[in-house]
Amino acid sequence: MNRLLPVSSPAPASDDTPNHDGPGRKPTIVREDLIAAALRLIGPHRSVSTLSLREVAREAGIAPNSFYRQFHDMDELAVALIDLAGESLRRIVGDARKRAVSGRSIVRGSLETFMERLRADDKLLHVMLREGTVGSDAFKRAVDRQLLFFEEELRADLVRIAAAQGIAFHEPGLVARAITRLVFAMGGTALDLPPERDAALVDDLSHMIRMLLRGAHAMGRKHARDA
């Protein structure tokens, strides 16, 4: 997948760049143009699973038939969009985690980066947070796969941090899953709140995550004693 998709500076509106695609003309459209067109159409009141091929083609300035040169159907485009959104999110949070050093600053630093990106109108991130559990099976599997990648990276991080501090977390995989699901669920609602509420949300989330880590640590200690 091309990582150079200009998400923060989307392609100009189709009116400015008519991509006429009649017989005899070479189509200039690429997959990224169609993904960018879909991103412009979706938003707080519009889910990716409700987009029609015709609409996306119109937004991209091509004939509906030309769509098929890039994607088999709308479902394949939706899956590509989710994959791209998941990649983008993992890169952002991964960078934040690498910069942080102690356990507490990792949590807070990652959450703050996350909220900054949310407010920077990163539409790929919005897609990842807003899209619920309605859509085709392929689409839902794509969302789930991205969540699993995210959980696995977080789990590896938790194990690494615990080892560095000479402690052990009980079931780090479950801790990672709980954190991922919480951040996604609460992040999705944050999009509809005014930015003034962000600091309180980061506070709430880091509190919840600390409770989880504290509990996992206590249960890990008990487990080690019992063994």
Chain residues binding its own copies by CB under 8 A are 44-47, 49-50, 129-137, 140, 144, 170-171, 174-175, 177-178, 181-182, 184-186, 188-189, 191-192, 204, 207-208, 210-216, 218-219
Smallest distance, Å, CB 6 to its own copies?
24
Smallest distance, Å, CB 57 to its own copies?
20
If one counts every other C-beta atom within 10 angstroms of the C-beta of residue 114, the result is: 23
Smallest distance, Å, CB 158 to its own copies?
12
Q: How far apart are CA 108 and CA 181, in angstroms?
A: 17
Q: How far apart are CA 131 and CA 83, in angstroms?
A: 13
Please give the distance of CA 111 from its chain centroid, rounded to a whole number: 14
Q: Is 109 helix (H, G, I), strand (E, B) or coil?
A: helix
Nearer to its own copies, 1 or 224 (CB): 224
Smallest distance, Å, CB 210 to its own copies?
7
Nearer to its own copies, 56 or 216 (CB): 216
Short-list 29, 32, 12, CA closest to 65: 29
Per the CB < 8 A criterion, the answer to whether 52 and 42 are in contact is no
Nearer to its own copies, 18 or 44 (CB): 44
